[in-house]
Amino acid sequence: MSKHTALPESELSLAALRGDCARMAPHWRAPVKTAPVPVRPSLISGVTVPPSSARLIDAMSEYGD
């Protein structure tokens, strides 16, 4: 059995949560987004798909069409 108990809702206010988030925000830096470089189709080779996966993907077309 866990020794930890949840705090009563009155002790965990929105203001306290916002303060916690504000203090942690500098630690959560997102990397700079870069646009992906397209790959020429002629460079893609050697890709194999197992028959079971091919059947799965083939059956999905009824949902996406």
pLDDT digits (tens, 9 = 90+) for 2-48: 566 666 655 668 888 888 888 888 877 888 888 989 988 888 888 78
DSSP state string for 2-49: -S--PPPGGGS-HHHHHHHHHHHGGG-PPPPP-PPPP--GGG------
Outline where the chain has alpha helix (H). 14-24, 51-64
Report pLDDT for 56.
80
* Residue 65, pLDDT above cutoff 80: no
How much is the pTM?
0.29
What pLDDT band is residue 53 in, cutting at 50, 70 and 90? Answer: confident
